[in-house]
Chains A and B, each alone.
Chain A
């Protein structure tokens, strides 16, 4: 099975466009993955091809390379016969991560597909760390905002004990008291 699969794959897809990849690339809609007459390996390649096309891999050379890498990945994991779509997608993501890896950094999770969908446009140059957990934001560093005290001010009579009035103020207060006594009644 391995040998036959290797035959189907394009080992050097950048330079060679022969074999099944080419056929699939040229007539993708003609062969349906559910077609029982088609060999399982071919069906697998068709599935990968269709997925990569939907993911935005319009370049045949790139697509061929990715198909080969994905099939190899699945082969290495012993999932060649009829792998589930979850396994295929995971393998495609791994292949894409390897394809788009820069400076030894691998793209986590499904980020390769995003890059593919964006037609190879890179993330901001000085922006997020590619190996970080979140692509949309830089790495978090938790520093709590402490809740402030907004308890109510209550008047205290303590200041009365230390109250000191100047002579002038005392005189003024006395005058006001007298005026109040005289006028208010």
Chain B
């Protein structure tokens, strides 16, 4: 290899390596900070390894008796909600991709309007209450059934598939449902994976709706419980900590708690991502191509 090529490779790899380090370092710092003591952190906020290794922050997080219940609730909402949303999204997208059918254009206009206008917080709250969804996990699943944006991405993916494939399936005697499940969905796997990940992350991160609609502590999702925990340790101490956590609160510090909760919440999504990565990279460009 020529000297010039070697030098350029060195420069390229160095820059990329530096960028990779810059990207990874905040994540690494989060792990380190969550495993150290307050005194060590105050002495040296930037550490390469945990000084005074300590897992009190995680003990504080797991000391909350509701944490596993909240985790279960989040899992139910994420898995069940994603499944429900995908059924609705795929069905709506497939139907609306049939542009030759009368009324689809009007339907699209009506659907797009909902992207710009919504009922507002108060009507939504009253709607949830009157439908009997208050204080139920269904309030976190049903109202956000379809995201218009994701549905449009899905519709575009269906429209990109050549019509000839469908026609040949019709000729072979397949009906619409068979075509959807046997022909169309396998061809839009990247987009499907992408939308599944988007929905899963959205529902996993949901806390605001839980704050408004879930009264019962045993039905609160993980994000809301962790948010409450972090705001209690960093906010007004006069509001009082949960009795079980008061003991632990003496030995932990707010930054450590925040880092521990960040790690605890992103681990499930990080475990899911490698399986969807190859689809994600393909699917992320889909919505950008054409309208």
A and B bind: no
